[in-house]
Copies of this chain bind each other. A is one copy, B any other.
């Protein structure tokens, strides 16, 4: 059971602060007012009203996003955020 994001949206899975990512990177901080780290788990088609928005993100990307954007959803006891690509501000690399 998965979420297929519509249009230029992506689905993110939250990465807990201080958590070790798959590649062994330790993400520190994430204090109260700072944005969350997350991992891209699904990418929309990019088609918005017949026009194509170039999707720059790929599944597996670790990203920083605007925490006031998007829609939170809980599925099978996991928390996801569905938001437009433009609300992702950067990729951690």
* Residues of chain A having any CB pair with chain B under 8 Å: 1-7, 9, 11, 25, 27-31, 33-35, 47, 49-50, 52-54, 56, 64, 66, 70-77, 82, 85-86, 88-93
Residue in B29, B52, B77, B86 whose beta carbon sits within 8 Å of that of A28 in the complex: B77
Question: Which of chain B's residues has its CB closest to A5's CB?
Answer: B90
Distance in Å: Cβ of A81 to nearest Cβ of chain B: 10
Copies held by the complex: 7
Judging by beta carbons under 8 Å apart, are A74 and B29 in contact? yes
Judging by beta carbons under 8 Å apart, are A90 and B86 in contact? no
Cα separation A33 to B79 with both chains bound (whole Å): 12
Cα separation A36 to B6 with both chains bound (whole Å): 16
Judging by beta carbons under 8 Å apart, are A28 and B91 in contact? no
